[in-house]
Structure 1
């Protein structure tokens, strides 16, 4: 399973030709308690670098940017009733959406786990 990260703290977990997208554990820690998640409609197209979802915490509201372009094929409807899943398991049960990847080459621009950890070290 390949996981890639953006500098905006989104992750992409590749499952076949589908990208599972959410925010990193680091991001949920920075946000604090997540109280609301706004997800896109299934069938909507998302564009890399553009807003794909919104996450609100007790501290702030933040856009979640699409790390890759494609069509939304599934959303995590559990987050509507239990947005705290993002805090409990950001990179697992707290995923936001699944996208059928339009251009797999876009994944090449993202960081692997090691590079992302090194990037986080520069933020400390």
Structure 2
């Protein structure tokens, strides 16, 4: 069974020793979200330019777990800002949280039909 907090720790510490602790500390100092569950590890902070936008610093999970997390915080944030990978090979994207959650409903419908 997958354990995302352990995977996140291992990945971040292999990239740079102490990175896991620095990211958690930064998230807490910015009044952000530290979510650690077996199926989802996520560090996110309010955007400095828009407090209604959450910036995902790091996440390790499958999409269904992220959709649940978005549902939990949809009243605090309007938009989600993220990159597709931690190595910054992809451009940063910002999407409305409702649009992000809509993909969960579409995925559920598609899985029922298949």
- TM-score, normalised with respect to structure 2: 0.28
Higher alpha-carbon Rg: 2
Of structures 1 and 2, the one scoring higher in RCO (CA 8 A, sep 6+) is 1
Higher strand share: 1
